[in-house]
């Protein structure tokens, strides 16, 4: 679902790049939802020759004004928009559902629904509900608290998703805001004290602003999620419960340890405070941040063909040349893929692999521990004997993901030798970010070693992400791996993840599903027949080695 922050950015993009006063040449597409006869394209004839007068957003709604009439646009689950694009389809191959051709610019919308409305009604709705819009600069915490308290008999998970109460809140924001408030999603609003409702509203606003900044800068929102689409809690590492709650049966994620069903147990003083999620907005308002663009938010010029590219694009749209990297002073010991053995060239017990982007490509530093003693941090007096040390500054020691084992050595003293005289180069197999491997640990001693390995994409050499086919067809429900980068920076990597799945009684490859009912098996995955309900066989098997 394109939540409020994404819709707000679409409105800002149109407002900054499309000039007012342009005439409508043509509006075509099949996105219109108004009732009535005739072809869908005929319903847009009333906009012919009209003047484009502006755009407004309210939550997940985008209003494009053309004089006395307006188009109300909704981006649904996976909608997107482009301005003056030369490509007809979007990044996933979907054709446009609405094309607005003006005298100078062309707006192309994908997977978007449209409604024809009166401009006066749309502007009045925005004026009345702007104080409740979690994405609006005029958002009022007091007004939002009153609106939530009026829904006393409903569950908090339903109230947060109600666009008439808090426009712009989507499923991701709902789950994370409830986690930050330590509330179980099924709790009724009438059981909450006004102070707790106020904190819930503030956390909803906080995570919305965090969501907005991530989408604007092209970074992944999932890095900040504690429970949404996670198998373990980001705070206590406990199991995350996945179920369908509320009147709309929306997917809900919560931690039974960190989120309580009894609001009286919550101590607000121990919960995150206002703007704790947004360190960059702790001293200044969001409006000030919007006026100061970072280097990543600026348009960039290709060194090869001089084309001006959008900030989110990592490769030139004309010649596919990579975006020039900012000058970064690299430490001298990250110059090549080199092993630094501590004592001898025997098989190391542990390795710390660090992946770093250098000026002339990607390099990897492999630190190996060849000592026979226990894996304990060395003392300060023996740093020069145990080998190379790493400091605690993750910005200089780790690029990508941090090490998964707590075996980080102290930085060696500058006056002591930290690199042995002998060194050897190894093969340049692609490696991901900080990774610690225990070479002496048997494969059967860890449950994770039996799981299928996650492949890396061919272009970026990063771990891919697991997704599910949602389009109707014979492959619906199948799992596959694709590039984990945001849309616009993704490569064409694709690999099926279900090739090892068992076959059902029909001889077809089974589908993997997740138990959503509350109980001891919640979250467990299992294999079932891929056919539709009514034609399925009785095949069932627990997925012990799921991807």
> Model pTM?
0.62
Q: How far apart are CA 159 and CA 169, in angstroms?
A: 10
Helix-then-strand count for the chain, H and E:
9, 23
SS3 label, residue 250: strand
Kindly state the tokens that stand for 109: 């919308």
Burial of 32-59, coded b for 16+ CB within 10 Å and e otherwise, reads beeeeeeebeebbeebeebebebbbbbb
Q: What is the pLDDT of residue 54?
A: 95
Instruction: Note the helical H segments in 181-249.
Output: 194-217
Task: Give me the residues of the chain with pLDDT under 70, please.
Answer: 1, 33-41, 273-298, 326-452, 488, 546-547
Joined tokens for residue 356: 């770093």
pLDDT value of residue 409 = 38
Catalytic positions:
2
pLDDT at 302: 79
Which residue, 455, 450, 451, 474, is CA-closest to 466? 455
Element (H, E) at 65: strand 61-66
Token pair for 321: 């040349």
Query: Which domains, and CATH codes, for the chain?
Result: 4-129 (3.20.190.10), 133-289 (1.10.8.50), 332-441 (no CATH), 455-547 (no CATH)
Can you give the pLDDT at residue 17? 93
One DSSP character per residue, 8-52 reads HHHHHHHHHHS-TTPBEEEEEES-B---SSS-GGGGGGGGTTPBP
Alpha-carbon distance values, 444 to 441, 501, 546 (Å): 9, 21, 17
Q: What confidence tens digit (pLDDT) does each residue in 391-446 have?
A: 434 333 333 344 443 443 333 333 434 444 444 444 444 444 444 444 444 444 44
């Amino acid at each position: 679902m394109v939540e409020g922050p994404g819709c707000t950015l679409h409105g800002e993009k149109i407002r900054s790049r499309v000039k007012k006063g342009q005439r409508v040449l043509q509006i075509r597409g099949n996105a219109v939802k108004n009732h009535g006869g005739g072809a869908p394209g005929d319903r847009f004839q009333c906009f012919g020759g009209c003047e484009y007068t502006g755009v407004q957003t309210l939550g997940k709604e985008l209003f494009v004004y053309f004089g006395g009439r307006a188009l109300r646009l909704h981006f649904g689950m996976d909608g997107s928009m482009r301005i003056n694009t030369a490509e007809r389809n979007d990044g996933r191959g979907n054709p446009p559902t609405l094309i607005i051709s003006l005298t100078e610019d062309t707006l192309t919308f994908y997977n978007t629904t449209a409604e024809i409305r009166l401009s006066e009604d749309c502007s009045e709705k925005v004026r009345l509900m702007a104080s409740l819009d979690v994405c609006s600069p005029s958002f009022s915490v007091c007004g939002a608290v009153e609106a939530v308290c009026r829904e006393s008999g409903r569950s908090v998970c339903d109230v947060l998703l109600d666009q008439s109460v808090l426009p712009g809140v989507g499923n991701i924001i709902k789950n994370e805001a409830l986690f930050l408030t330590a509330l179980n999603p099924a709790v009724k609003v009438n059981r909450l004290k006004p102070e707790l409702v106020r904190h819930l509203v503030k956390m909803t606003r906080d995570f919305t602003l965090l969501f907005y900044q991530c989408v604007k800068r092209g970074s992944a929102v999932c890095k900040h999620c504690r429970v949404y689409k996670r198998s373990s809690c980001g705070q206590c590492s406990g199991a995350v419960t996945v179920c369908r709650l509320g009147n709309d049966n929306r997917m809900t994620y919560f931690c039974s340890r960190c989120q309580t069903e009894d609001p009286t147990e919550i101590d607000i003083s121990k919960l995150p405070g206002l703007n704790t999620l947004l360190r960059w907005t702790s001293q200044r308002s969001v409006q000030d941040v919007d006026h100061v663009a970072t280097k990543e938010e600026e348009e960039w010029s290709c060194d090869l063909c001089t084309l001006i590219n959008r900030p989110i694009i990592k490769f030139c749209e004309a010649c596919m040349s990579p975006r020039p990297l900012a000058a970064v002073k690299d430490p001298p010991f990250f110059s090549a893929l080199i092993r630094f053995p501590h004592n001898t060239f025997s098989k190391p017990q542990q390795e710390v692999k660090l992946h770093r982007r250098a000026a002339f490509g990607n390099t990897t530093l492999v630190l190996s521990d060849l000592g026979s003693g226990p894996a304990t941090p060395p003392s300060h007096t023996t740093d020069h004997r145990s080998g190379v040390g790493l400091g605690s500054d993750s910005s200089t020691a780790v690029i990508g993901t941090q090490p998964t084992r707590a075996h980080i050595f102290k930085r060696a003293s500058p006056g002591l030798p930290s690199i042995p005289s002998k060194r050897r180069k190894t093969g340049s197999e692609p490696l991901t970010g900080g990774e610690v491997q225990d070479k002496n640990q048997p494969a059967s001693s860890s449950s994770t070693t039996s799981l299928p390995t996650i492949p890396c994409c061919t272009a970026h050499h990063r771990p891919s992400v697991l997704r599910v086919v949602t389009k109707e067809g014979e492959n619906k429900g199948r799992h596959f791996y694709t590039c984990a980068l945001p849309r616009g920076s993704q490569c064409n990597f694709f690999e099926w993840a279900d090739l090892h799945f068992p076959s059902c009684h029909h001889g077809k490859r089974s589908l993997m599903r997740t138990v959503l009912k509350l109980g001891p098996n919640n979250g467990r995955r299992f294999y079932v027949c891929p056919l539709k309900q009514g034609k399925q066989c009785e095949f069932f098997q627990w997925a012990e080695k799921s991807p």
